[in-house]
Homo-oligomer: A and B are copies of this chain.
Amino acid sequence: MDVAEKINLQNVAVTSDFWNRYRELVVKEVLPYQWKVMNDEANISIAEDPQNNGRDQNSHAIANLKIAAGQMTGHHYGFPFQDTDVYKWLEAAAYSFGYHPNPDLKKITDNLIDLIADAQDDDGYLSTFFQIDAPERKFKRLQQSHELYTMGHYIEAGVAYYQATGNQKALSIATRMADCIDNHFGLDDGKIPGYDGHPEIELALSRLYEQTGTKKYLDLAHYFLNQRGQDPDFFTKQDKADGWDNEILPGMRDLPKTYYQAAEPIVDQKTADGHAVRVVYLCTGMAYVARFTGDKGLLEACHRFWNDIVHRRMYITGNIGSTTTGEAFTYDYDLPNDTMYGETCASVGMSFFARQMLNIEAKGEYGDILEKELFNGALSGMALDGKHFFYVNPLEADPVASKGNPGKSHVLTHRADWFGCACCPANLARLITSVDQYLYTVNGNTILSHQFISNDATFNDGIKIQQTNHFPWSGDIHYQISNPNHGTFKLGIRIPSWSAKYDLKIGGVTKSLPVQEGFIYLDVAAKSLTIDLQLDMSTKMMRASNRVESDFGKIAVQRGPVIYAAEQADNEAPLWLYHVNSEAKTSYHYDDKLLNGVGVIKVAANRERLDPDGISLYQPVQPATDTPVDMTLIPYYAWANRENGQMRVWLNS
């Protein structure tokens, strides 16, 4: 084999119809709509969710920046982290330029960069809540302030915008922020030996380091990871010094330290506890820093958290967060389907984590989970119209229950226009617009193709990989590879865990290759090569580990990476009356008219006759009154796009 030059990925053009519809939807609907919202020009109804706290219906996000920039007067409105709505939107817009150049939008975003630069303090600080209304409290209540979280989101946006447009100002705002943070935080005398209540700055500084090569940013990220939890009373001491009852987010003072992953040093934490989004953002930062520094303790923590989340605390859809209280993880194998949280942002963050783990190790499971999030748990956060969003993604929902049982009041059964805490819509938008960055992982002379989203990818030395398919509806994956100049390189293709068997043809010839940690590898030496991979797209009846009480005796239906759900729109309610046998006959067809085109699964079921209302609640068991019927299942991500009704992923068996 030639010792070839190191391979770099230069560009990926997504050609998948499935994803391009979403990507255009973000450009056509999500970005303009969110821009209006942030400018208080949209007529929105904020969801009745616990995040709302009776706040104003308007976002005020741009207004806050204008006030901080001296262009307007007034008070700050919204959450202390309101600025991040703008930054995540900006980041999504930056990515969109890569596939949909848009001069009008670019005028807006360039002006926005100017506004942000004007809002930034001379020392690099930028958090409009504190600048406008509480300058004397800067960095004094980090448990609740979200200052580093907020600046971290700008740093991500600034790096992305610079990469997309070359706008130097966008990057320099980010480096000035990072310098400001570096001046204030650390173990040196006079610095704050602390960290933010919400992880984010760690991954943001890593991205800034990746872009600029400035090592102090990596060191600072590393410091934040190491320092976390070293003094479990750090937040309490700050809260007391700042005035105990002077809370920024009322009630946060009383949350357990595990909520913030601040009860003990990360390397000592055994399980993934606390606020799910915080956990996966933290893990993403850990994975970055572990890769850049070789810190083995952090890498072990990455593995420990990954395994705990993926093998003990994740829903089959990829959603995470079993309770609304603290939007948090609970305990191993506790996965209730109807009172869960499963925040969209947490699935987005899990995608970040998986992508970074792929950068460390060529392990198929990381690609499996990334795929699971992309086609299920994360994607379900947005309606097919791009205008309605889920914060909470249940696996079992019932409008009557959400209305009638307070323990389920956080579970919406129709996506809302917007949220008081609007983290999820923009977070999902930036994932969708950057999905091209999630398809390949390049390491030395190896290219890993771990996602089956059609694309044309260009590498250095003239390497091109053209992947065409109708995934996720078809498992026929075609690769056309050009390698005119490079000599030999290694191509790894992920064999998904859901495809126990597969067929492979290389240059039209059937080949059998060993699966190593979820990948098959081939050496590409020819100038041109076709690969045809046929994945097993048979419909699978899935069960959960029987350690999961909530899914015991139940069946979920999966085809390829797509998890299916039964909806009242297709099946007579109540949906729990259907029994599905694990050997039930199924049929699949693609319906291009339904839900923007989805694969539909019909499954043979038995439906019990509904008992009459008002009779004795409890009676001796009688012979069942089942009637054979077909159940219709649709992809989980596409639920709640029709009439409001019941939905369930786990079917009674």
For A617, the chain B residues whose CB sits under 8 A away are 310-312, 314, 316, 544-545, 548
Question: In the bound complex, do residue B619 and residue A542 qualify as a contact, i.e. CB atoms below 8 Å apart?
Answer: yes
For A546, the chain B residues whose CB sits under 8 A away are 576-577, 608, 610-611
Residue of B nearest to A273 (CB): B404
Given A334-B401, A405-B334, A542-B621, do A616 and B547 touch, yes or no (CB 8 Å)? no
Question: In the bound complex, do residue A613 and residue B547 qualify as a contact, i.e. CB atoms below 8 Å apart?
Answer: yes
Question: Given the complex of chains A and B, what is the CA–CA distance between A409 and B325 in angstroms?
Answer: 11
Does residue A407 face the partner (Cβ distance < 8 Å to B)? yes
Question: Given the complex of chains A and B, what is the CA–CA distance between A459 and B622 in angstroms?
Answer: 43
Question: In the bound complex, do residue A543 and residue B322 qualify as a contact, i.e. CB atoms below 8 Å apart?
Answer: no
Q: Which one of B307, B336, B613, B616 contacts A497 once the chains associate, using CB atoms below 8 Å? A: B616
Does residue A186 face the partner (Cβ distance < 8 Å to B)? no
Given A400-B331, A401-B334, A576-B552, do A618 and B543 touch, yes or no (CB 8 Å)? yes
Given A545-B615, A546-B611, do A406 and B622 touch, yes or no (CB 8 Å)? no
Residue of B nearest to A648 (CB): B549
For A336, the chain B residues whose CB sits under 8 A away are 405, 407
Question: In the bound complex, do residue B547 and residue A574 qualify as a contact, i.e. CB atoms below 8 Å apart?
Answer: yes
Does residue A508 face the partner (Cβ distance < 8 Å to B)? no
Question: In the bound complex, do residue B339 and residue A407 qualify as a contact, i.e. CB atoms below 8 Å apart?
Answer: yes
Question: In the bound complex, do residue A574 and residue B549 qualify as a contact, i.e. CB atoms below 8 Å apart?
Answer: yes
Residue of B nearest to A498 (CB): B620
For A541, the chain B residues whose CB sits under 8 A away are 620-621
Does residue A540 face the partner (Cβ distance < 8 Å to B)? yes
Output the least CB separation between A68 and chain B (Å): 33
Would you give the 0/1 interface string for A481-514, flagging 1 where the beta carbon is closer than 8 Å to chain B?
0000000000000000100000000000000000
Would you give the 0/1 interface string for A417-453, flagging 1 where the beta carbon is closer than 8 Å to chain B?
0000000000000000000000000000000000000
Which residues of chain A (594-624) have a CB below 8 Å from chain B?
608, 610-611, 613-622
Q: Which one of B307, B325, B555, B619 contacts A543 once the chains associate, using CB atoms below 8 Å? A: B619
Ranked 9 nearest A-B pairs via Cβ: A331-B404, A325-B406, A582-B621, A545-B611, A330-B405, A541-B621, A543-B621, A549-B576, A316-B618
Question: In the bound complex, do residue A406 and residue B576 qualify as a contact, i.e. CB atoms below 8 Å apart?
Answer: no
Question: In the bound complex, do residue A614 and residue B556 qualify as a contact, i.e. CB atoms below 8 Å apart?
Answer: no
Does residue A323 face the partner (Cβ distance < 8 Å to B)? yes
Question: Given the complex of chains A and B, what is the CA–CA distance between A541 and B322 in angstroms?
Answer: 33
Does residue A553 face the partner (Cβ distance < 8 Å to B)? yes
Output the least CB separation between A478 and chain B (Å): 27
Query: How many copies of this chain does the complex contain?
Result: 2
Show 8 A/B contacts (Cβ-Cβ < 8 Å), sorted by A.
Answer: A311-B617, A312-B613, A322-B405, A542-B619, A542-B620, A545-B611, A545-B616, A547-B613
Does residue A226 face the partner (Cβ distance < 8 Å to B)? no
Question: Given the complex of chains A and B, what is the CA–CA distance between A67 and B331 in angstroms?
Answer: 48
For A323, the chain B residues whose CB sits under 8 A away are 405-407
Does residue A326 face the partner (Cβ distance < 8 Å to B)? yes
Residue of B nearest to A556 (CB): B618
Does residue A11 face the partner (Cβ distance < 8 Å to B)? no
Residue of B nearest to A398 (CB): B549
Does residue A466 face the partner (Cβ distance < 8 Å to B)? no
For A613, the chain B residues whose CB sits under 8 A away are 312, 332, 547
Question: Given the complex of chains A and B, what is the CA–CA distance between A555 and B582 in angstroms?
Answer: 21
Residue of B nearest to A540 (CB): B620
Would you give the 0/1 interface string for A521-557, flagging 1 where the beta carbon is closer than 8 Å to chain B?
0000000000000000000111111111100110110
Does residue A652 face the partner (Cβ distance < 8 Å to B)? yes
Q: Which one of B552, B574, B611 contacts A652 once the chains associate, using CB atoms below 8 Å? A: B552
Given A407-B339, A576-B549, do A544 and B618 touch, yes or no (CB 8 Å)? yes
For A407, the chain B residues whose CB sits under 8 A away are 323-325, 336, 339, 407
Given A314-B617, A407-B325, A552-B652, do A543 and B622 touch, yes or no (CB 8 Å)? yes
Interface centre among A310, A403, A574, A621 (most CB of B within 10 A): A621
Question: In the bound complex, do residue A311 and residue B576 qualify as a contact, i.e. CB atoms below 8 Å apart?
Answer: no
For A553, the chain B residues whose CB sits under 8 A away are 553, 579, 652
Residue of B nearest to A554 (CB): B553
New A-B contacts (16) at CB < 8 Å, excluding given A334-B401, A334-B404, A541-B621 = A307-B614, A311-B615, A314-B617, A323-B407, A325-B406, A330-B404, A336-B405, A541-B620, A544-B618, A545-B618, A545-B619, A546-B577, A546-B611, A547-B611, A552-B577, A553-B652
Question: Given the complex of chains A and B, what is the CA–CA distance between A631 and B200 in angstroms?
Answer: 50
Question: Given the complex of chains A and B, what is the CA–CA distance between A418 and B556 in angstroms?
Answer: 44
For A543, the chain B residues whose CB sits under 8 A away are 618-622
For A401, the chain B residues whose CB sits under 8 A away are 331, 334
Question: In the bound complex, do residue B618 and residue A311 qualify as a contact, i.e. CB atoms below 8 Å apart?
Answer: no
Would you give the 0/1 interface string for A318-353, flagging 1 where the beta carbon is closer than 8 Å to chain B?
000011111010111010100100000000000000
Output the least CB separation between A633 and chain B (Å): 16
Question: Given the complex of chains A and B, what is the CA–CA distance between A331 and B404 in angstroms?
Answer: 6
For A622, the chain B residues whose CB sits under 8 A away are 543
Output the least CB separation between A194 and chain B (Å): 27
For A325, the chain B residues whose CB sits under 8 A away are 406-407
Question: In the bound complex, do residue B616 and residue A311 qualify as a contact, i.e. CB atoms below 8 Å apart?
Answer: yes
Residue of B nearest to A409 (CB): B325
Question: Given the complex of chains A and B, what is the CA–CA distance between A401 and B620 in angstroms?
Answer: 30
Question: Given the complex of chains A and B, what is the CA–CA distance between A620 and B544 in angstroms?
Answer: 9
Question: Given the complex of chains A and B, what is the CA–CA distance between A555 and B611 in angstroms?
Answer: 16
Output the least CB separation between A536 and chain B (Å): 11
Question: Given the complex of chains A and B, what is the CA–CA distance between A343 and B616 in angstroms?
Answer: 22
